[in-house]
A and B are shown apart, each in its own frame.
Chain A
């Protein structure tokens, strides 16, 4: 596809369950970013990848959050033992190479933890 895609588009889960969110960046983009937007709040940086490595994991809110990227393409954000405060829209973005370049965003995954 031409843009960044994310799946699922919506996810409802029970507190305590694990969830996996997927991001397919634009083909050829080496940088990939995860953000989250909680209801009524601004966007919050979580993590970014340059290729398969994550130079900056400082935005991950707790050790229940992890992310990986394989083959320099698809990335998965995993949330273990979900809590209600994890409910948010999780956005993925990619950019061609350098962090300073324009980031292109996917439509997001809306996560609701009951």
Chain B
């Protein structure tokens, strides 16, 4: 059974710092991995999607990497801003075409 774990559960850093969020999964048989952002009352926003054949994806200050064989992904946020404060969720699309989710990392960027 696929399980997704995110570390840390919460993170608070000063504005301007670069930071890394971690996601690990137990079964490497995935179609893709996605990083989402969850803001209260606003639902989920997809940030980056990495297909299983890809190693990384970049969007602006965000860079996500995928090492499928080791079951790990990282989300790198450069030059963090207070507006980056949110819960970041990692999800893998498993062999049954179901999205399996991590519990999220709650990120607070202090001005």
Q: Point out residues on A near B: beta carbons under 8 Å.
A: 4, 33, 35, 41-45, 48, 56, 58-59, 91, 93, 99-108
Contact = CB atoms under 8 A, between A and B. Distances in A.
Contacts of A103: 34, 46, 99
Given A93-B44, A105-B45, 15 more contacts: A4-B43, A42-B103, A42-B104, A43-B89, A43-B91, A44-B101, A45-B100, A48-B97, A102-B34, A102-B49, A103-B34, A103-B46, A104-B46, A105-B46, A107-B42
A41 B51 CA distance: 26
12 contacts: A35-B99, A42-B89, A42-B101, A56-B96, A91-B44, A93-B44, A100-B93, A103-B46, A105-B43, A105-B44, A107-B42, A107-B43
A105 B103 CA distance: 17
Contacts of A100: 31-32, 51, 93, 97
Contacts of B31: 99-100
Interface string B24-56: 000000011010100001111110010100000
Interface of B: 4, 31-32, 34, 36, 41-46, 49, 51, 89, 91, 93, 96-104
